[in-house]
């Protein structure tokens, strides 16, 4: 995979004597001490990261931790005091102003928390703003703006004015404006932070959906760890200008680097971080040809109330302990699992977030976790689903350790 954005030893000092501040930092002085004694502000200290093409890299941290400074350095709005920032092969920290303008125009779009829509221009004109700057003709501008509005679900509002749209819809226009120029890289600085929680969730889901087809390289800034964990392929947690941890959502939740990160992790919504794949135990199943007695024995061994039934490699359905034991007591000819098979069963993809399984699990049957070909990869027992959502940090590891055998 190709690295699209790369930062190496990036520092930003705000003030008159940045080199002095860096020397003090080298000597081990803290951000506070340097500020107190010299008035220099350490915006970003020693940032190092790679963003792979098509990935979402989230930078999360409290107010003042240096997130905006970092993202502004990525598109050259702020020059680093030292270090390298590569966009493909170009170092935006040191390339010529013309080269920087070209990179910005051709490759990068930025979406902000509070970006201004022009009140007297239509939604389509607002969405086309970046294209106008590029010098594109009116007809083509409109075409591209409409396509971008369509991507964010606002095609019908193209000829309305900003005042007719809700805050959430206006924020979508901001996203459409970013998408209209078809940038390779999207920089998003707290784009959803001003939205109501429900709308915010919707926008997050929509970004994930869009990203499945667009596959942009995105650097997304947030001060919300839930948002970071939901969106990020990788996440950097910033404190006082430094990265305290960089990793996947699961890595960060399972192994917070320090107390600062742990404190954030304590509040997260596990149902959105972990997926059906994480919660699934190994696929315990019997073949369709199995007898009721065989299936019952497997269930007793594994302590399960229900068991999936395979026809070769395909899922045929599920059988419950209750139905099987009733059948095993009955007529001899009807004691195969096939006779009590339930062919309607709850199923989810490996990447489905756990919170989407609540409804499925309410049937009481284990949820079948299937891969792209529809093969059974594991099951999520309703009880284990609720254990996953508890704040016990080790519950997800335990699920993997529950091994199960498949009988035929």
Ligand X SMILES: Nc1ncnc2c1ncn2[C@@H]1O[C@H](COP(=O)(O)OP(=O)(O)OP(=O)(O)O)[C@@H](O)[C@H]1O
Strand partners, 86: 6, 91
Strand partners, 57: 219, 234
Query: Among residues 110 and 180, whose Cβ is nearest to Mg ion?
Result: 110
Give least dist CB 10 to ligand X, A.
Answer: 12
Contacted by 65, from ligand X, Mg ion, none: CB < 5 to 8 Å by type: ligand X
Contact string 15-54 vs Mg ion (x = CB under 5 A) = ----------------------------------------
What is the spatial distance between Cα 10 and Cα 84, in angstroms, rounded to a whole number?
A: 6
Give least dist CB 222 to ligand X, A.
Answer: 9
Site of interaction with ligand X (CB under 6 A): 14, 41, 43, 61, 63-69, 223
Give least dist CB 129 to ligand X, A.
Answer: 23
Helix (H, G, I), strand (E, B) or coil at 297: helix
Count of residues that interact with Mg ion, criterion CB under 5 A: 1
When CB distances to Mg ion are compared, the closest residue is 68
Beta-sheet strands, E only, within 146-292 = 185-189, 217-222, 234-239, 242-247, 285-287
Query: Among residues 44 and 146, whose Cβ is nearest to ligand X?
Result: 44
Closest CA to 76 of 44, 110, 41, 100: 100
Residues 54-93 that bind Mg ion (CB under 5 A): 68
Query: Among residues 63 and 213, whose Cβ is nearest to ligand X?
Result: 63
Give least dist CB 68 to Mg ion, A.
Answer: 3
Contacted by 96, from Mg ion, ligand X, none: CB < 5 to 8 Å by type: none
Contacted by 40, from Mg ion, ligand X, none: CB < 5 to 8 Å by type: none
Length of the chain in terms of residues written:
408
For 59-97, the DSSP string reads EEE-TTSSHHHHHHHHTTSS--SEEEEEETTEETTTS-H
Quickly list H helices, 276-381.
276-279, 292-302, 321-329, 358-361
Contacted by 41, from Mg ion, ligand X, none: CB < 5 to 8 Å by type: ligand X
Give least dist CB 372 to Mg ion, A.
Answer: 39
Query: Among residues 68 and 170, whose Cβ is nearest to Mg ion?
Result: 68
The DSSP call for residue 269 is: -
User: How many CA atoms does the CB half-sphere of 198 hold within 13 Å?
Assistant: 0
Give least dist CB 64 to ligand X, A.
Answer: 4
Q: Which residue has the tokens 């960060």?
A: 252
Contacted by 382, from Mg ion, ligand X, none: CB < 5 to 8 Å by type: none
Strands 314-320, 306-311: pairing kind: antiparallel
Query: Among residues 66 and 317, whose Cβ is nearest to ligand X?
Result: 66
Give least dist CB 113 to ligand X, A.
Answer: 8
Sign for the CA dihedral angle at 181, 182, 187, 191 comes to positive
Query: Among residues 128 and 225, whose Cβ is nearest to ligand X?
Result: 225
Query: Among residues 62 and 133, whose Cβ is nearest to ligand X?
Result: 62
Query: Among residues 115 and 345, whose Cβ is nearest to Mg ion?
Result: 115
Give least dist CB 88 to ligand X, A.
Answer: 25
Contacted by 162, from ligand X, Mg ion, none: CB < 5 to 8 Å by type: none
Helix (H, G, I), strand (E, B) or coil at 156: helix
The tokens for 353 are 């977030």
Contacted by 14, from Mg ion, ligand X, none: CB < 5 to 8 Å by type: ligand X
Longest Cα–Cα distance of the chain, Å, equals 91
**Secondary-structure breakdown of the chain: helix, strand, coil percentages, each rounded to the nearest 5:** 45, 25, 30
Strand partners, 368: 347, 379
Contacting residues toward Mg ion, per CB under 5 A: 68
């Amino acid at each position: 995979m190709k690295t699209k954005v790369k930062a190496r030893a990036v520092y930003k000092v705000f003030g008159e004597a940045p080199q002095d501040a860096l020397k003090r930092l080298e000597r081990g002085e803290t951000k506070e001490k340097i500020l107190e004694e010299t008035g220099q502000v350490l915006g970003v200290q020693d940032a190092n990261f790679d963003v792979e093409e098509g990935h979402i890299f989230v930078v999360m941290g409290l107010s003042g931790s240096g997130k905006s400074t970092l993202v502004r350095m990525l598109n050259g709005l702020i020059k680093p005091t030292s270090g390298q920032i590569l966009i493909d092969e170009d170092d935006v920290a040191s390339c010529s102003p013309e080269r920087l303008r070209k990179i910005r125009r051709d490759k990068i779009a930025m979406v902000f928390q509070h970006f201004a829509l022009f009140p007297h221009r239509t939604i389509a004109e607002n969405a086309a703003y970046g294209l106008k700057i590029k010098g594109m003709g009116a007809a083509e501008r409109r075409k591209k703006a409409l396509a971008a509005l369509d991507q964010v679900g606002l095609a019908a509002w193209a000829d309305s004015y900003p005042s007719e749209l809700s805050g959430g819809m206006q924020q979508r226009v901001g996203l459409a404006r970013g998408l209209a120029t078809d940038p390779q890289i999207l920089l998003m600085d707290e784009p959803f932070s001003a939205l109501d929680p429900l709308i915010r969730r919707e926008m997050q889901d929509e970004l994930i959906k869009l990203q499945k087809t667009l596959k942009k390289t995105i650097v997304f800034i947030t001060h919300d760890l839930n948002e970071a964990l939901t969106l990020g392929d990788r996440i950097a947690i910033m404190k006082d200008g430094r990265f305290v941890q960089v990793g996947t959502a699961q890595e960060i939740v399972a192994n917070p680097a320090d107390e600062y990160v742990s404190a954030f992790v304590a509040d997260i919504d596990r149902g959105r971080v972990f997926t059906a794949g994480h919660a699934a135990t190994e696929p315990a199943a019997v073949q369709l040809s199995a007898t009721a007695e065989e299936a019952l024995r497997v269930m007793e061994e594994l302590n399960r109330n229900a068991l999936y039934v395979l026809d070769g490699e395909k899922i045929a359905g599920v059988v419950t302990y209750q139905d099987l034991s009733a059948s095993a007591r009955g007529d001899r000819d009807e004691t195969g699992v096939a006779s009590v098979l339930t062919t309607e069963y709850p199923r989810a993809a490996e990447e489905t977030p756990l919170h989407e399984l609540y409804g499925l699990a309410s049937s009481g049957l284990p949820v079948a976790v299937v891969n792209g070909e529809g093969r059974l990869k594991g099951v999520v027992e309703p009880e284990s689903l609720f254990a996953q959502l508890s704040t016990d940090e080790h519950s997800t590891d335990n699920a993997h350790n529950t091994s199960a055998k498949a009988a035929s």
